[in-house]
Amino acid sequence: MEGATAQELNVQDPLDSIYGRRFDAIADYRNSVWQRLCKEFFSRYVKPNDVVLDLGCGYGEFINNIPARKKFAMDLNPNVPGRLVSNVECLMQDCSDTWSIPDQTLDVVFTSNFFEHLPTKQALSATLKEARRALKPGGLLIALGPNIRYLNGQYWDFYDHYLALSDLSMAEALEINGFRVKERIARFLPFTMADRQPPLVFLSIYLRFSMLWRFFGKQFLVIAEATDR
């Protein structure tokens, strides 16, 4: 499951090359996985009338598949716009700069496997402040990412991983930057499904039986709401 694209990192390698090498061959499978994740799990947090931003959207697997009234996707990979469906507005910008979204516009900010790619904790804090500004009071930030507590060295097998985050440090960062944590799951999805590509029916079973998460989950899920200004 790893892999939303990076922001401007302190490496010179172009994002399209990094993520093309990593994901192009399995793009169809990843999209099928996210179709199930959206339908069978994340749709409980996103209402059909919501305004949603996918932060570090990668190839758009989440935002293309989640039903919502208005959709935004933010990234810097030049290949991203060609991966998005027609009703998604693409914002090509650094997430730690001021977003081109007015105050209190969004109902949900979703991000998957992205924050670990940011170059500094200052960049993460700046991004969370922008998310809070753009969210309506009570709006949700949903953060999914690899949990350093359960991965150790494997966390660094990806060249563009910078920040080592856990469910606890992610929750603390959110609270420091104006959010109230509603749900924190230390073990949610496996670190990756792309290497073995199990049949999708296994994913449906996995999502239904949360007792399996404690054995296989190596990604955290933290859900927080923007506090009143």
- Which sequence spans correspond to the domains of the chain? 15-226
Residue 1 is predicted with a pLDDT of: 43
Show contacts of 40-44: CB within 8 Å, 24+ apart: 40/204, 40/207, 40/208, 41/207, 42/66, 42/110, 42/142, 43/67
Cα–Cα nearest to 94, from 66, 63, 117: 117
Q: Which residue is it, tokens 């924050």?
A: 115
Q: What is the residue-level pLDDT of the chain in tens, covering all 229 positions?
A: 443 334 444 444 555 555 544 555 668 888 999 999 999 999 999 999 999 999 999 999 999 999 999 999 999 988 899 999 999 999 999 999 999 999 999 999 999 999 999 999 999 999 999 999 999 999 999 999 999 999 978 777 777 889 999 999 999 999 999 999 999 999 999 987 666 678 899 999 999 999 999 999 999 999 999 998 6
Q: Which of 205, 44, 224, 8 shows the shortest CA–CA distance to 119?
A: 8
Of the candidates 117, 211, 122, the residue with the CA atom closest to the CA atom of residue 165:
117
- Rounded Cα distance between 94 and 169, Å, is 22
Cα–Cα separations (whole angstroms), residue 117 to 58, 80, 167, 174, 195: 12, 17, 16, 17, 21
- Which of the listed CATH numbers 3.40.50.1970, 3.30.70.270, 3.40.50.150, 3.40.47.10 matches domain 15-226? 3.40.50.150
Quick one: tokens of 147?
């949990």
In the block, which residue shows the tokens 């500004």?
133
Beta strands in the chain (DSSP E): 51-55, 70-75, 88-92, 106-112, 135-146, 179-185, 219-226
Q: For residues 164 and 93, what is the distance between their CA atoms, to the nearest angstrom?
A: 23
Task: Give the sign of the dihedral formed by CA 73, CA 6, CA 218, CA 34.
Answer: positive
Taking the alpha carbons of 228, 53, 12, 145 in that order, is the dihedral positive or negative?
A: positive
d(CA 81, CA 77): 9
Supply the pTM of this predicted model. Answer: 0.88
